[in-house]
């Protein structure tokens, strides 16, 4: 006979601790790539059906400690009163709500994502002909045309999330906030990092191509 026990507080704490270890490690890897200068960027991973683990606001994402990872509900409110989650928490929550298979969301401020989106007012970056597009689920050939959406930056997260929401009708592989940075997601923290790495590679290629023109 199999007895299934409901997850108690100790187990819930274990999940947060495990997510915290993963996010601390991935923050260091993002920092090594130059994607989280100063206190830029925010990182999250799904904890339970109703909550995520996310970085505190204002800490350096390359030098995180486990205590810098806190748990918030999908409406963005912290489970522990007084915790101050990332200023961009609502954007993470939106991805988890709209895409149930997503287990992690990473946001960074790379030079490529920032500079490329300030070069013009385009609402998207066309990615076509790149072999690395096959790093994304459902793409089997370089002969694929992807448009990575670009949204104008906004300090009002509710308004920004509302501007982004229609894009989830046909979910993109990520998106960029103009002059700000990139959002990427994946099934778990490691695969999310791969997707971010692929997107950063593509944006760097696009920057290089513009320089060569």
Ligand X SMILES: CSCCC(=O)C(=O)COP(=O)(O)O
Query: Which residues of the chain form contacts with Zn ion (CB under 5 A)?
Result: 181
Nearer to Zn ion, 51 or 110 (CB): 110
38 near ligand X (CB under 6 A): yes
86 near ligand X (CB under 6 A): yes
Helix (H, G, I), strand (E, B) or coil at 160: helix
Q: Which residue has the tokens 């400690």?
A: 65
Q: Choose the stretch contacting ligand X; rule: CB under 6 A; options: 84-92, 144-152, 158-166, 199-207.
A: 84-92
Long-range contacts of 206-210 (CB under 8 A, 24+ apart): 206/112, 206/116, 206/125, 206/127, 207/111, 207/112, 207/115, 207/116, 210/116, 210/119
Q: Residue 147 forms beta bridges with which residues?
A: 126
Q: Choose the stretch contacting ligand X; rule: CB under 6 A; options: 69-77, 80-88, 117-125, 134-142.
A: 80-88
Residue 109, marked binder: yes
CB of 203 to ligand X, least distance (A): 17
Distance CA 76, CA 71 (A): 9
Residues placed in the known binding site: 107, 109
Residues within the interface to ligand X (CB under 6 A)? 38-42, 55, 57-58, 86-88, 107
């Amino acid at each position: 006979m199999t007895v299934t026990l409901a997850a108690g507080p100790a187990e819930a704490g274990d999940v947060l601790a495990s997510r915290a270890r993963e996010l601390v490690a991935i923050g260091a890897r993002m920092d090594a790539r130059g994607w989280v200068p100063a206190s830029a960027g925010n990182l999250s991973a799904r904890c339970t059906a109703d909550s995520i683990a996310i970085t505190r606001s204002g800490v350096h994402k390359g030098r995180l400690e486990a205590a810098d990872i806190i748990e918030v509900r999908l409406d963005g409110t912290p489970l522990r009163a007084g915790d101050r989650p990332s200023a961009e928490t609502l954007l993470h929550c939106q991805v988890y709500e709209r895409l149930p298979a997503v287990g992690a969301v990473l946001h960074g401020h790379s030079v490529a994502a920032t500079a490329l989106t300030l070069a013009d007012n385009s609402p998207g970056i066309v990615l076509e002909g790149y072999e690395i597009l096959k790093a994304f689920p459902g793409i089997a050939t370089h002969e694929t045309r992807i448009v990575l959406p670009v949204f104008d930056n906004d300090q009002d997260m509710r308004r920004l999330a509302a501007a982004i929401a229609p894009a989830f009708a046909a979910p993109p592989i990520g998106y960029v906030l103009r002059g700000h940075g990139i959002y990427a997601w994946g099934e778990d923290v490691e695969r999310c990092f791969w997707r971010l790495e692929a997107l950063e590679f593509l944006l760097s290629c696009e920057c290089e191509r513009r320089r060569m023109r």
